């Protein structure tokens, strides 16, 4: 995963030649692109912004090379300073343990390779196909299940999408197309709109579902132009945000999500993460905060066992107990479905609760 290739960073660009300035200002038209270019990229800057000067700043070597730190400033503002156990800080901070290999954790934990229909297109489930639209993200989450995905082999230009679009057009059983990545909303409006236009023109498609963490981590991205484009297309838009903790849903992120969820169906998908949201309180607050922003909890994912993410794993038995407790405390529609991705299975697999957990029914 790399920063978007067409967002050249003003700060990183070689300062020696004068000419690029014009090009840069031309390319960095949008405030959200500028915000992304100004994201925090070094461990030492993040530590000093958070008053954590005594924290270990040397990254594990493999991490520094393959999946470096990336945190937008808006997200940094939602981290509690001085607290190395902050649930948002934990999601972006590479621990030394990331570099050690753990039994059962692999690079392609979810069977993406076997589900690849063609360049940039995966199909695992009936009626739905997924486009890997970009390798770029606005944040680097340490538990990411696609952190080892071979993005460099996937399409970049609209022309490269032809094979995937033809596969979609040729299969009338596909009703919903998912845009995933990376993060599809790192794609600039013009290119995103071109792709949506092409999808609008495939008659059997009914919905476009966008899986994105940008409304949470880079709320500047939720522009009026983006919302207008989503609601004005033929396809019914569904946006699945990926929030893991209620503390992420504050300030500008809350405003952005509220604006988005007025005209668009917005759902949330979280990953159950040790030290982030593995408590009843955290999950209740997350559901309540989402609902206050008109977002329904959809899935709570068991962690995919991807190399480097082992320290975030919560045992399934603990997850089941948490879900049982959520059922006791919340209306049913605020309890996310606890699921696991099993390579080769025909759908995301619900993790069912033991009947014994139903015996104690005191409110
Ligand atoms: C998760 C996933 C989907 C969507 O599954 P839903 O259960 O409909 O949310 C579709 N395609 C692929 C390849 C996926 O990994
Ligand atoms: S979890 Fe999502 S937003 Fe985070 S790095 Fe992975 S793909 Fe990007």
pLDDT in tens, 70-96: 999 999 999 999 999 999 999 999 988
Chain-wide mean pLDDT for the chain? 90
How does pLDDT run across 296-329, given as a tens digit for each residue?
Answer: 999 999 999 999 999 999 999 999 999 999 999 9
Q: How many CB atoms lie under 10 A from the CB of residue 26? A: 8
pLDDT-derived band at 248, boundaries 50, 70, 90: very high
Ligand 1 atom having least distance to the Cα of 339: 7
Pocket residue to mutate for ligand 2, from 1, 90, 143, 308, most atoms within 8 A of Cβ: 1
pLDDT exceeds cutoff 80 at 125: yes
pLDDT-derived band at 29, boundaries 50, 70, 90: confident
Average pLDDT over residues 156-184: 94
Ligand 1 atom having least distance to the Cα of 299: 9
pLDDT exceeds cutoff 70 at 243: yes
Pocket residue to mutate for ligand 1, from 130, 208, 268, 341, most atoms within 8 A of Cβ: 130
Residues whose beta carbon lies within 6 Å of some atom of ligand 1: 115, 122, 124-125, 128, 130, 178, 347-348
In 3D space, the residue among 243, 233, 182, 172 whose CA is nearest the CA of residue 208 turns out to be 233
CA–CA separation, 360 vs 349, rounded Å? 26
Q: Which pLDDT does position 209 carry in this prediction?
A: 98
Cα–Cα separations (whole angstroms), residue 59 to 64, 67, 89: 6, 11, 15
Average pLDDT over residues 235-261: 98
Q: How far is the CA of 134 from the centre of ligand 2 (A)?
A: 11
Q: Which pLDDT does position 345 carry in this prediction?
A: 96
Q: Which pLDDT does position 155 carry in this prediction?
A: 85
Q: Which pLDDT does position 291 carry in this prediction?
A: 98
pLDDT exceeds cutoff 60 at 12: no
Q: Which pLDDT does position 72 carry in this prediction?
A: 98
Q: Which pLDDT does position 156 carry in this prediction?
A: 79
Q: How far is the CA of 233 from the centre of ligand 2 (A)?
A: 26
Closest C-alpha residue for ligand 1 atom 14 = 124
Residue carrying the six token digits 């993410």? 309
Ligand 1 atom having least distance to the Cα of 122: 13
Q: Are strands 176-180 and 207-212 parallel, antiparallel or unpaired?
A: parallel
pLDDT exceeds cutoff 60 at 16: no
Closest C-alpha residue for ligand 2 atom 7 = 182
Closest C-alpha residue for ligand 2 atom 6 = 144
182 lines ligand 2 (CB under 6 A): yes
Let me know how long the chain is. 363
pLDDT exceeds cutoff 70 at 24: no
Cα–Cα separations (whole angstroms), residue 224 to 163, 228, 232, 272, 277: 31, 6, 12, 32, 32
Closest C-alpha residue for ligand 2 atom 1 = 144
What is the phi-psi region of residue 217: left when phi exceeds 0, alpha when psi lies from -120 to 50, beta otherwise? alpha
Between 22-31, 112-121, 201-210, 254-263, the lowest mean confidence (pLDDT) is in: 22-31
Between 25-34, 254-263, 271-280, the lowest mean confidence (pLDDT) is in: 25-34
């Amino acid at each position: 995963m790399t920063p978007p290739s067409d967002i050249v960073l003003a700060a990183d660009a070689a300062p020696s030649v004068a000419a690029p300035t014009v090009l840069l200002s031309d390319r960095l038209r949008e405030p959200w692109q500028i915000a992304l270019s100004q994201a925090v990229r070094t461990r030492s800057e993040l530590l000093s912004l958070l008053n954590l000067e005594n924290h270990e700043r040397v990254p594990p070597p493999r991490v520094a090379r393959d999946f470096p730190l990336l945190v937008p400033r808006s997200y940094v503002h939602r981290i509690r300073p001085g607290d190395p156990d902050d649930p948002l800080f934990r999601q972006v901070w590479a621990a030394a343990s990331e570099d050690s290999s753990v039994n059962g954790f692999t690079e392609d934990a979810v069977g993406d390779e076997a589900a690849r229909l063609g360049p940039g297109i995966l199909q695992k489930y009936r009626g739905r196909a997924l486009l890997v639209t970009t390798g770029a993200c606005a944040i680097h989450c340490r538990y990411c299940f696609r952190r080892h995905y071979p993005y460099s082999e996937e399409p970049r230009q609209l022309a490269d999408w032809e094979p995937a679009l033809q596969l979609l057009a040729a299969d009338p059983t596909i009703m919903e197309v998912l845009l995933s990545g990376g993060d599809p909303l790192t794609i600039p409006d013009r290119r995103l709109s071109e792709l949506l236009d092409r999808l609008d023109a495939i008659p059997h498609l009914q919905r476009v579902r966008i899986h994105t963490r940008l409304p949470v981590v880079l709320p500047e991205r939720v522009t009026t132009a983006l919302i207008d484009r989503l609601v004005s297309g033929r396809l019914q838009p569904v946006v699945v945000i990926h929030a893991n903790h209620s503390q992420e849903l504050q300030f500008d992120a809350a405003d952005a999500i509220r604006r988005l969820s007025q005209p668009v169906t917005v759902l949330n998908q979280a990953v159950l993460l040790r030290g982030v949201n593995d408590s009843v309180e955290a999950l209740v607050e997350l559901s309540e905060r989402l609902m206050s922003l008109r977002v329904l909890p959809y899935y709570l994912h068991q962690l995919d066992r991807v190399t480097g993410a082992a320290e975030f794993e919560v045992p399934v038995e603990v997850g089941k107990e948490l879900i049982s407790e959520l059922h006791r405390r919340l209306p049913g529609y605020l309890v996310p479905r606890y699921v696991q991705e099993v390579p080769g299975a025909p759908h995301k697999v619900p993790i069912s609760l033991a009947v014994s957990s139903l015996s104690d029914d005191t409110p």
